[in-house]
Amino acid sequence: MKHIDIKKLYTDPAYVGQMVTVCGWVRTSRDSKNVAFLELNDGTSLKHLQIVLDKERMPEVSAFMPIGTSLKVEGTLVASERNGVEVNATAVTVLGACPGEYPLQKKRHTLEFLRTIPHLRVRTNTFNAIFRVRSVMADAIHRYFQQRDYVYVNTPLITASDCEGAGEMFKVTTIGYSEDYKSAEDYYANDFFGKRAGLSVSGQLEGEMAAMAFGKIYTFGPSFRAENSNTPRHVAEFWHVEPEVAFAELPDIIEIAQEMIKYIIADVMEKCPEELAFFEKFFEAGLRDKLRSVVDNDFEVLDYTDAIAILEKADVDFKYPVSWGCDLQTEHERYITEQVFKKPVFVTNYPKDIKSFYMKQNPDGKTVAATDLLVPGVGEIIGCSEREADLDKLLSAMQERGMNLEDYGDYIDLRRFGSVPHSGFGLGFERIIMYVTGTANIRDVQLFPRTVGSIR
């Protein structure tokens, strides 16, 4: 159907005075004696387009009025003091009628209510703005890595090895378990792959293999976690950005992570000013100043041991007590980023016992060369580390964790054939979207969030 995007009518002055055809959904309507007004939205612009219907020329307008009706409108685009431009309609066609039971009526709906209608909530300004920003951020991520000669690789989603080893893998199977199988091994042997398989929690292990060939790689795809945590920051299916860089040590990868985050945020600020103004009005006061300050200032780098000292001294009644060796809980992460530093913080050198097997063991024998990037309002958005490049140290870390070395034969080979220092990180795409948009719940930055007990 030949038509023009509403966004174009607002941005290209050449259309003023021309006959135009636009399509879209009615967002509001007002009918008076001589004239009726419609606000039309086609998704290309946050701003609706006003359609003016002269009732002398077009006496029967009632079919165009219901909110949600889809229309094709022909008319002249004219300049308007109030709206910038508007259309004086000469012909209107109803593409699809929309009855009064349509749930998105005029009032502002709560995000909780909108979560019950994921297929329709995308038609609201809020979701238009969030998903525009999500799309721009995806493009910025690819551009950041492509401009720097990283190779984009697609790691498998079905895997036989668990990267994080936290028992959070969804099983992939074509047969149900039955008493007929003599043992778990027997059951898995009869399944599709002939061994136990699951949905990957991270592309890192295969990413490391590619980095040992291409030098610098990144993945950008879904990861899956069967975490039983019903929080505003966890979903069972999230999008994961995972660069892996050969010859990079921890300080190098921290520099890359910081540069990438600043690049993405600067890009959104340039390309999505209207959306950010919208979020600032409805979600987070001071959002744009916050983002500007992230781009202009260095992030804090804080040793885990110093973080613990800060938390132990804090005059706060934490629910989870703090002592060296404990994992940082959301309340601790938020205290550090929101109360103490008020900016993104890399916490480095965590105790080895609370981190993954693949992280490089520090000479102190107690900590690993890992870092999490924590940001105000969200907490952890990046998990990062230098990888253990020494074969013997890697094997002992795996044995300490009781891991089955046979499942990781390819990974172990990397340390046998020309091992090099290397580092990488995983950025949770939804987490950084939350940070940039000021959205408080991860369920509101995905089209169809999958969480424990909830799928549609």
| Residues that bind ligand 4AD in the complex, under the rule CB under 6 A | 163-164, 202, 204, 225, 227, 234-235, 238, 240, 242, 380-385, 424-426, 428, 430-431
Binding span for Mg ion by CB under 5 A among 110-118, 146-154, 337-345, 377-385: 377-385
Q: Which two tokens stand for residue 147?
A: 């401009």
**Please, which residue, 154 or 190, has the CB nearer to ligand 4AD?**
154
Binding span for Mg ion by CB under 5 A among 25-33, 139-147, 329-337, 380-388: 380-388
Which of Mg ion, ligand 4AD, none lies near 275, with the C-beta cut-off 5 to 8 A by kind?
A: none
Which of Mg ion, ligand 4AD, none lies near 75, with the C-beta cut-off 5 to 8 A by kind?
A: none
**Please, which residue, 159 or 202, has the CB nearer to ligand 4AD?**
202
**Please, which residue, 39 or 164, has the CB nearer to ligand 4AD?**
164
User: Could you give phi then psi for residue 147, rounded to 5 degrees?
Assistant: -65, -20
Which of ligand 4AD, Mg ion, none lies near 31, with the C-beta cut-off 5 to 8 A by kind?
A: none
> 103 CB contacts (<8 Å, ≥6 apart)?
109, 117, 120
**Please, which residue, 126 or 423, has the CB nearer to ligand 4AD?**
423
Closest distance to Mg ion from the beta carbon of 380 (Å): 6
SS3 207: helix
Which of Mg ion, ligand 4AD, none lies near 381, with the C-beta cut-off 5 to 8 A by kind?
A: ligand 4AD
> 241 CB contacts (<8 Å, ≥6 apart)?
141, 218, 219, 220, 426, 427, 429
Binding span for Mg ion by CB under 5 A among 232-240, 349-357, 381-389, 399-407: 381-389
Note whether 383 binds Mg ion by CB under 5 A: yes
Which of ligand 4AD, Mg ion, none lies near 421, with the C-beta cut-off 5 to 8 A by kind?
A: none
Name 36's bridge partners. 31, 53
Note whether 424 binds Mg ion by CB under 5 A: no
Closest distance to ligand 4AD from the beta carbon of 153 (Å): 12
Closest distance to Mg ion from the beta carbon of 116 (Å): 31
Give the integer Cα–Cα distance in Å for 371 and 7: 42
**How does DSSP classify residue 308?**
H
**How does DSSP classify residue 165?**
-
**Please, which residue, 48 or 233, has the CB nearer to Mg ion?**
233
Closest distance to Mg ion from the beta carbon of 83 (Å): 47
- Max intra-chain CA distance, the chain: 86
Give the integer Cα–Cα distance in Å for 309 and 347: 13
**Please, which residue, 204 or 258, has the CB nearer to ligand 4AD?**
204
User: Could you give phi then psi for residue 3, rounded to 5 degrees?
Assistant: -160, 170
HSE-CB for 108 with a 13 A CA cutoff: 3
Q: Which two tokens stand for residue 281?
A: 């009005």
Give the integer Cα–Cα distance in Å for 410 and 206: 9
Give the integer Cα–Cα distance in Å for 233 and 432: 11
Which of ligand 4AD, Mg ion, none lies near 430, with the C-beta cut-off 5 to 8 A by kind?
A: ligand 4AD
**How does DSSP classify residue 64?**
G
Distance linking the first and last C-alpha atoms of the chain = 32
Which single residue is written with the structure tokens 């340039």?
270
Which of ligand 4AD, Mg ion, none lies near 382, with the C-beta cut-off 5 to 8 A by kind?
A: ligand 4AD
Q: Name the residues that contact Mg ion, by CB under 5 A.
A: 383
